[in-house]
Amino acid sequence: MSNMFARRAEFVKASEVRELLKLTDASEMISFGGGLPAVETFPIEEMREICDEILSENGAKAMQYAISEGYAGLREIIVKLMEEKGISVGIDDILITSGSQQGLDLSAKVFLDEGDVILCESPTYLSAINAFKPFYPKFVEVDMDEDGLIPEDLKKKIEENCNIKFLYTIPDYQNPTGRQMSLERRKTIARLANQYDLIIIEDNPYSELCFCDKTLPPLKSFDTEGRVVYLSTFSKTVCPGYRVGWVSASKEIINKYILFKQGTDLHTNIFAQMQIVRFFEKYDIKKHIDRSISIYKSRRNAMLDTIKKTFPKEVSYTKPEGGLFLWVTLPEYMNSKELLVKAMEKGVAFVQGSAFFPNGGHENTMRLNYSGLQEEKIIEGIEILGELLRNEVKSMLHKN
């Protein structure tokens, strides 16, 4: 039957993430490949109570139907969450999605025609690339530095390209680099969007996971013309297995998202939505997140310390102030794919960086996740990588 497949089916390549999820099952492997929160942070006992209460109080309703927009109680909570970030929306401006991944898929469906240009950070989130690709867009990568996307380069790319549909950006603790966009740049980019009539898809799954007090207002909070579509999720703050996220956008846009949502899966699991609502009502979410943060922070520290001790000086890396990932740039002559093969022989895995560049290249980069592993495993794995890297540098010097 494969000769019947639509062209878009060919675009979805075997996901590196999926292959890596498989690796996380191989219990012997120290995998820096995943993107999962720490198991220790899951509110198991709280959820047991909550489930019981939901069935006692809501009864059959939890097992029945919800409207496509999502459970109103949950949307009310989201309105408050967004308010705290300086975004004022009503519950009708919100659509509950099955995780923020669905938000990306719906964004593609709502906006993309063949040949449209997507502007994105270079590098950017792998599954966003994969969600957009089946709709045949052209990716134009915008340079970034430690302060995130560079507005000057964005402006240049806007002027150089026509048919631009939207800018896709992760301003906070970006996946894969862990970088945070500066406040000044957020304002500038919001202004540029107005000036050039640009839609922005702001993907914000990690902003709560902040290791210092530097939470910055989202791009959406600077949106004066309803041109920012905001995606977020409870996967990183409550737990990933629930698949509950949301999209917020102006009425005109969100209505289109709702229509596509119906055709996609009708609505998101209502029981899961109710569980999250209860969780917010009964427990202090801040406390819960703080517990996650302190775990992630010490894991990040363990990783950074070990990198500092063991990686050769030719290797550079980001020092994320939040989120789950750290980004490593190797000397130009190294290839992270070859390194991965060697590392896996020694029981360590990571994701090669080239996967995060929609137009390929950058073979000398890699992404490391620190949230899913215990500290001693992190130290052990990084030491192995460090030794491999030192050997690579040595053998290069030898050749010269």
Partner 1 sequence: MDILIDREAKTPIYMQIKKQIASMITTGKLSANFIMPAERTLSEKLHVNRSTVIKAYMELKAEGLVESRVGSGTVVLAPLSRDSSQERMYIPPLRWSQLESKRVIKSNEQTINNILSVFENGKVISFASGVSSEDTYDLELLKKLQSQIIDKYKEKVFMPTPVDGSIELKGTIRSYLQESGINASTKQIMVTSGSQQAIEFFAKLLIEPGDVVLVEEPTYIGAIQAFESYDARLIGIPMDEEGIRLDILESCLIKYRPKFIYTQPDFHNPTGMPMSLTRRKELLKLAYYYNIPILEDNPYGELYFSGSPLPSLKSLDSNDYVIYVSSFSKTISFSLRVGYVVASENIINRFIKFKQITDIQTNTFSQFLIHEFVSQGHLRPHLESIREKYKKKRDLMVSELSKGDIEGMEVFVPNGGYFVWLRLPNNLRINELTKNLGEQGVVVMPGEVFYPKFSIEENYIRLNYSYPKEKDIKEGISRLIMCIKKCSTNAMKSKYSIETDINPYL
Contact positions vs partner 1 (CB under 8 A): 1-2, 4-9, 12-15, 17-18, 21, 36, 39, 42-44, 47-48, 51-52, 55-56, 59-69, 72, 97-99, 101-102, 104-105, 109, 127, 130-131, 134, 239-243, 258-260, 262-272, 275
| CB contact burial 282-291 (16+ within 10 A = b; e otherwise) | eeebeebbee
Provide the minimum distance between the beta carbon of 354 and partner 1 in the complex, in angstroms, as a whole number: 18
**Smallest gap from residue 149 Cβ to partner 1 (A):** 23
Instruction: Name the minimum Å distance from CB 207 to partner 1.
Output: 20
Q: How far is the CB of 319 from partner 1 (least distance, A)?
A: 28
Closer to partner 1 by Cβ: residue 142 or 274: 274
Rounded (10°) angle between helices 183-196 and 151-160:
20
CB of 43 to partner 1, least distance (A): 8
Residue 180 to residue 289: CA distance in whole angstroms:
19
Alpha helices per DSSP H over 13-146: 16-25, 44-58, 72-84, 99-111, 126-132
Of 72 and 293, CB closest to partner 1: 72
Q: Closer to partner 1 at the Cβ: 169 or 275? A: 275
Packing angle of the helix pair 375-399, 285-310 (nearest 10 deg)? 30
Concatenating the DSSP letter of every residue in 319-361 gives --SBSSEEEEE--TT--HHHHHHHHHHTTEE-EEGGGG-TT--
The least CB distance from residue 151 to partner 1, in Å, is 29
For tokens 């949301």, name the residue.
Answer: 246
C-beta of 61 vs 155, nearer to partner 1: 61
Smallest distance from partner 1 to CB 181, Å: 25
Beta strand residue intervals within the chain, DSSP E: 30-31, 94-97, 117-121, 138-142, 144-145, 148-149, 164-169, 199-203, 228-233, 245-248, 316-317, 325-329, 348-349, 351-352, 365-369
Q: Which residue, among 60, 65, 51, has the nearest Cα to 267 in the 3D structure? A: 65
User: From the CB of 331, what's the least distance to partner 1, in Å?
Assistant: 32
Nearer to partner 1, 60 or 212 (CB): 60
Cβ-count burial of 251 within 10 angstroms (0-12 exposed, 13-18 middle, 19+ buried)? exposed
Please count the residues of the chain: 400
Question: Shortest distance, CB of residue 167 to partner 1, whole angstroms?
Answer: 20
The residue among 44 and 212 lying less far from partner 1, judged by its C-beta, is 44
CB nearer to partner 1: pick between 229 and 393: 229
What's the CA gap between 220 and 155, in Å, rounded? 19
Nearer Cβ to partner 1, position 317 or 356? 356
Per DSSP bridges, beta strands 164-169 and 117-121 are: parallel
CA distance 350 to 367: 6
Which of 174, 119, 118 is CA-nearest to residue 148? Answer: 174
Q: Which lies closer to partner 1 via its Cβ, residue 43 or residue 347?
A: 43
